[in-house]
Amino acid sequence: MGKNFKRDTVVYQIYPRSYRDSDGDGIGDLRGIISSLDYIASLGVNAIWLSPIYQSPDDDNGYDISDYKAISPKFGTMDDFDELVREAKARGIDIIMDLVINHTSDEHEWFQRALHGEEKYRKYYIIEKGQDGKLPNNWGNFFAECPWTPFGDSTDEYYLHLFSKKQPDLNWHNPDVLAEISDIMRFWLDRGVRGFRCDVINIIYKNTLADGKKRFILTGQEHYLSTDGCHNILKTLRETVLEPYGAWAVGETVFVNLKQARDLCDESRGELDMVFSFEHMEVDQMVVKWFKTKLKPQKLMRCLSKWQGGLDWNAIYFENHDQPRFISRFSDGEGYREKLSMMVAGLAMTLRGTPFVFEGQEIGMTNGDFQNLDEVEDIESHNVYAMAKSLHLPSAYRWRMIQRTSRDNARTPMQWSADEGAGFTTGTPWLKINHNHTEINVERESAREDGVLAFWRYMISLRKSLDVLMDGDFTPLYEGRTVYAYARATRGERVVAIFNMSAKSAKMPKSILCESELIASNYDTVEDTLRPFEFRLVRPLA
């Protein structure tokens, strides 16, 4: 972990279009975030990660950027952004920007100039001729599309896009691309940004465009996952941009194993400060995320312990803008939503690493309640539904896939109040508001001393106040069918975190029974058994 990163950091992720709408157009904006800064500060977080707010045609909700140095009018102005940075800083909160540099929008000036024949900008992208009337290679695509689209009016040239066809991949073999991205990063750092969350950062450098080994998903991945070229780029950005500004970076890293993760974020290598790995988010899937199985707690425990032991420092998250709400993934947990949400707070704040809290997680928001595909905006969901239809999967099954797994589950508007627009907007929201906002909202939770919001605030405060939770070593103690326990220890101080990850009561394992002092729990009393989704943090007295 780089010298510029603080171990007491707790990050709050905001998906701007869903957070708070200040002008009634149904889309969240920067002024809405500014008006919410006191609330955000009250959580105890000290950094905000903003999902993209750049100029964009919104084919992929802002992850298709047409101008890296402009704010989308949907979100406000550059003056609004500068005010956000100032006001956040006044409250001790840093701003982290989303850095999307695997691809641009096809409406970006660079791509448009390439289309108009400027050779310099053709070299910014990966443009290849087909082979004997076929596509340049047999690669797959993250959005279930063909990854090659004809370049302009050409009949034999194609551009590569590992995501939407409106997101052409950049050519990182071209040093001009590195120079452009470095300039963009400095532009935002000069405006007071503290660091970056780097989107799909470990796939930016393609070693070769040769055919890949045929796979069920993403044929060709061996040619671009965590390549040496990617490592060299990250080292250069660290040395020439991040370090001079005292900035830090966390990378979204797809399909990484522990060794690959260490190579990306080990402090001695000088690349990323930490990575978002995915293995713990994939314990309830078969092959790909769209085919879900029941979440087995023991599988989750083993995965968490593996990554805790495998990396010196982890990025701790259970929700973000790309994942369904975590508490909705416990299929038997609906009757215990509040206890389950509090248990996740205990987990997030006691594991070793930097916690990332996603908007609405602190009040226990659940998956969206979409009734049909027309209510879903996510391009990935629509593409996958169409692919499943082409495979003749039953319509009921196709829809169940989308209901459980669509990224829109996490993108429903923030639930501020029980009002018609959930306190999010006075207009028509860009995405359907969950009907349960009448029961689950900030206004209601703020009035409760023993509610979900209060518990998240307490756990964030506790993590920042106890050195053992910030710096302590991690040691797994018990991984049962539903009960999980681990110790954190440093400089003579030791605490034990205990979880029952089930809607059924469970026996306290004898191996962790001892006389202890209770530090935190999501239940008011202590009993011999662990109740549904119970969390305890204790300090052994012996």
Helix or strand holding residue 479 (H, E): strand 473-479
Among 150-159, 333-342, 358-367, top mean pLDDT goes to 358-367
Residue 402's pLDDT band (boundaries 50, 70, 90)?
A: confident
> pLDDT (tens digit, 9 = 90+) per residue, 292-311?
778 899 999 999 999 999 99
DSSP 106: T
> pLDDT (tens digit, 9 = 90+) per residue, 214-254?
988 899 999 999 999 999 999 999 999 999 999 999 999 99
Question: Hey, what are 23's tokens?
Answer: 């002008």
Q: C-alpha distances in angstroms, 523 versus 94, 109, 452, 519?
A: 33, 56, 12, 12
* Per-residue model confidence (pLDDT) at position 334: 65
> pLDDT (tens digit, 9 = 90+) per residue, 473-482?
999 999 999 9
Cβ–Cβ under 8 Å, residues 250 and 194: no
> pLDDT (tens digit, 9 = 90+) per residue, 454-506?
999 999 999 999 999 999 999 999 999 999 999 999 988 999 999 999 999 99
pTM for this one?
A: 0.95
> pLDDT (tens digit, 9 = 90+) per residue, 269-292?
999 999 999 999 888 876 677 677
- In angstroms, the CA 264 to CA 273 distance is 8
Percent helix, strand and coil across the chain, each to the nearest 5: 35, 20, 45
Q: Please state the three-class secondary structure of 20-85 as a single string.
A: CCCCCCCCCCHHHHHHCHHHHHHCCCCEEEECCCEECCCCCCCCCCCEEEEECCCCCCHHHHHHHH
Percent of the chain with pLDDT over 90: 83
Q: What is the mean pLDDT of residues 395-403?
A: 86
Q: What is the residue-averaged pLDDT of the chain? A: 94
The phi-psi region of residue 10 (left if phi > 0; otherwise alpha if psi is between -120 and 50; otherwise beta) is: beta
Question: Who has greater pLDDT, 405 or 435?
Answer: 435
**Torsion angle in degrees (nearest 10) through CA of 351, 304, 333, 378:** 100
> pLDDT (tens digit, 9 = 90+) per residue, 146-189?
999 999 988 899 999 999 999 999 999 999 999 999 999 999 99
Residue 4's pLDDT band (boundaries 50, 70, 90)?
A: low
* Per-residue model confidence (pLDDT) at position 397: 84
Q: Give ∠ CA 182-188-193 in degrees, rounded to 5.
A: 120
250 strand-pairing partners: 197, 274
Q: What is the CA radius of gyration of the chain?
A: 23
- In angstroms, the CA 350 to CA 253 distance is 23
* Per-residue model confidence (pLDDT) at position 332: 55
* Per-residue model confidence (pLDDT) at position 3: 52
Cβ–Cβ under 8 Å, residues 362 and 325: no
Give every strand in the sheet of 314-316, ordered side by side: 274-276, 248-252, 195-198, 94-99, 47-50, 11-14, 353-358, 314-316
Just list the catalytic residues: 199, 252
* Per-residue model confidence (pLDDT) at position 113: 98
* Per-residue model confidence (pLDDT) at position 345: 98
Cβ–Cβ under 8 Å, residues 401 and 465: no
> pLDDT (tens digit, 9 = 90+) per residue, 86-137?
999 999 999 999 999 999 999 999 999 999 999 999 999 999 999 878 999 9
